[in-house]
Amino acid sequence: MNKIPFIFLLLIFSNFSIFTQNRNELQNHSQYYNNKLLTFSTFSENIASDSLKLHLFYKIPINNYLLRQSSNSLFQGIANLTLTLSDKEGVVRFHRLFNDTIISSKSQFLPNELVFKKGYTSYIIPKDNYQLEIRVNDLNSRKSEKVPLNYLLLDTLRKVKASFMVLSKFGENQYQPISLFNNSDYSNSAKLFLINLFANTEYSNLTYKIQKLKTEDEFNFEFSDLSGRIDKIKIEDVQFNSDYVELNLNSKVAAGKEDYGNFYYLIEFPNNPFVPGKYQIDIISGNRVIYSNNFSVIWDNQPITLNNINIAIKISEIFLTKEEIDEVKSLNRRLQLKGLFEIWKKLDKTTPMDNYPEAMVEFYSRADYAYYQFSTFAERNGALTDKGKVYILNGPPDKIEEVFKMKKLNEIWTYSNLIKEYTFESVESGVFKLTNIKE
């Protein structure tokens, strides 16, 4: 979503009460990827009666690595990864060491920037149930992190073992693994659950049920249980590549008899039905639950502004009505974020079948950018500046032009689609004031 709807632009200079206190509070709040050196997900594929192929998809948050200048004005870092598989007795059965080189055009990033190096590797391993651990070292800074995943194959209620991976659609029959420890991300992309059941029997007419678990986290949004039919796809119609998984969905059929060993199982969600939180998925054959697994939906790129409800409410005064703001403030503190979410969901008409409020994410992501990008010596919170306010409501301009008028530097921001032009005048070093709006 590139533009906030035009009607909201009328509010551009009304109710601008933002961040009057605790200017550093936004900077001090952590994000999901803060201090993480690696996230990953796995999928186990049948190769033979005694072996598996382990697919490992991972993401390296470049922001958290020390990058040193190399040739051609580029910056470089090195992630050193040690992969270990241990059996139930703790005996190491598999061990591999490899490096991944990071190349970047800059050495430092703003706190609201998320930049990743994606990677993939695969190994043939003896068939067993393993605990996986990856130790990651930043060779430049010597920072180290140990990243575990409980078991490659999940033991389920009926002694069925299974491998489970969440995929996100990005092309025709092309899906990208979500490298969040076999969890799902909170986004607007279509999702697909790919499941490999390791069983010694046949199951027919498989169905699923997904319910949200009650937790005390602040994302306790409303969610209706999901249920439906499970499809299957031939193993040879699933191809694992370094960047994505390719599925020949034209060959999928309803899950029936003679499933064992020849098919993977699919659950497709063309729209995002999930909200952040913890879930349980059950796979059912007849009246029997043969597979049960917990997974999470993680808002991994959540705008930093939403980490602090006080700041979020203050900045919302730019966009929401006084009645809407008062409605959120009247709620119990733990329910205020949920209340804000529900208001934005009503305003966002772009994806009525989706639980992901694109307008809300766009708005607060712009607030994050403005906070850091437009800060000055006089005003550390860039969202309080005139540039920041215009950016939050309109997004990035199509053109920026610098001109001198009356010996003063002026910046002219042009928005072609909005047919608007904003002129900012330099009043002191690095400080600009909005002097004119041309329509």
More confident residue, 85 or 25: 85
- Report, as an integer, the average pLDDT of 269-295: 90
- Report, as an integer, the average pLDDT of 133-140: 96
Q: How far is residue 375's CA from residue 366's CA, in Å, rounded to a whole number?
A: 14
CA neighbours within 13 Å on the CB side: how many for 432? 23
Highest mean pLDDT among 276-280, 283-287, 348-352: 276-280
Q: Residues 198, 278: contact at Cβ < 8 Å?
A: no
User: Quick one: CA dihedral 233, 193, 62, 82, positive or negative?
Assistant: negative
State residue 50's pLDDT score: 86
Q: Where in the chain is the domain with CATH 2.60.40.10?
A: 32-151
Q: Residues 78, 102: contact at Cβ < 8 Å?
A: yes
pLDDT at 311 over 90: no
State residue 91's pLDDT score: 92
Residue type, 406: M
Q: 362 to each of 301, 303, 367, how far by Cα in Å?
A: 11, 9, 9
More confident residue, 204 or 108: 108
State residue 257's pLDDT score: 60
Q: How far is residue 278's CA from residue 284's CA, in Å, rounded to a whole number?
A: 20
State residue 178's pLDDT score: 95
Q: What percent of the chain has pLDDT over 90?
A: 50
Q: What percent of the chain has pLDDT over 70?
A: 88
State residue 176's pLDDT score: 94
More confident residue, 124 or 153: 124
**Is it true that domain 32-151 has CATH number 3.10.180.10?**
no
Give tens-digit pLDDT for 13-59: 333 333 333 344 554 445 889 889 999 999 998 888 889 999 999 99
More confident residue, 165 or 72: 165
State residue 331's pLDDT score: 92
- Report, as an integer, the average pLDDT of 71-79: 90
Residue type, 51: S
Q: 188 to each of 159, 296, 372, how far by Cα in Å?
A: 35, 16, 26
Q: How far is residue 103's CA from residue 286's CA, in Å, rounded to a whole number?
A: 52
Kindly report the average pLDDT of the chain as a whole number.
85
State residue 2's pLDDT score: 45
Give tens-digit pLDDT for 390-431: 999 999 999 999 999 888 899 999 999 999 999 999 988 889
Give tens-digit pLDDT for 359-383: 899 999 999 999 889 988 888 778 8
pLDDT at 354 over 90: no
State residue 300's pLDDT score: 92
Give tens-digit pLDDT for 196-245: 988 777 777 889 999 999 877 666 777 889 999 999 898 889 999 988 99
Q: Residues 73, 94: contact at Cβ < 8 Å?
A: no
- Report, as an integer, the average pLDDT of 184-199: 90
According to the 3-state scheme, what is the secondary structure of the chain? CCCCCHHHHHHCCCCCCCCCCCCCHHHHCCCCCCCCCCEEEEEEEEEECCEEEEEEEEEEEHHHCCCEECHHHCEEEEEEEEEEEECCCCCEEEEEEEEEEEEECCCCCCCCCCCEEEEEEEEEEECCCCEEEEEEEECCCCCEEEEEECCCCEECCCCCEEEEEEEEEEECCEEEECCCCCCEECCCCCEEEEEEEECCCCCCCEEEEEEECCCCCCCCCCCCCEEEECEEEEHHHEEECCCCEEECHHHCEECCCCCCCCEEEEEEECCCCCCCEEEEEEEEECCEEEEEEEEEEECCCCCHHHHCHHHHHHHHCCCCCHHHHHHHHCCCHHHHHHHHHHHHHHHCCCCCCCCCCHHHHHHHHHHHHHHHHCCCCCCCCHHHCHHHHHHHHHCCCCEEEEEEECCEEEEEEEECCCCEEEEEEEEECCEEEEEEEEC
Q: Which fold has domain 153-301?
A: Immunoglobulin-like (2.60.40)
pTM assigned to the model: 0.86
- Report, as an integer, the average pLDDT of 52-71: 93
State residue 229's pLDDT score: 92
